[in-house]
Amino acid sequence: MRLDKALEKYQKDYAAYQEKKQNFLDWEDENGCNNAIASWNFANTDEALKYYNRVHEDEHQPDKPPQFSDY
């Protein structure tokens, strides 16, 4: 009788463990895909900004600081 209860408790606990493990693996897979997509988007955005800055480099040059001799 005690062995049956112990075996039932073990099976119940093991099933809960398997479910938690599977949930974690699913979460990890989903996060891995999201991280890969985010890295790809950052790389593309970085490239796009480099090209934009090459084309519009005059617009992004800071003005010269004011000199006292100009006044």
pLDDT in tens, 31-69: 777 777 777 777 788 888 888 877 777 666 666 766 777
Predicted model pTM: 0.46
Place of tokens 């934009």: 52
Q: What is the rounded end-to-end Cα distance, in angstroms, of the chain?
A: 101
Residue 64 inside a domain? The answer is: no
Residue 45 inside a domain? The answer is: no
What range does the domain containing 9 cover?
1-34
Residue 49 inside a domain? The answer is: no
- The pLDDT value given to residue 19: 93
Residue 39 inside a domain? The answer is: no
- The pLDDT value given to residue 48: 81
Task: Indicate if the pLDDT at residue 13 is higher than 70.
Answer: yes
Count how many domains the chain has.
Answer: 1
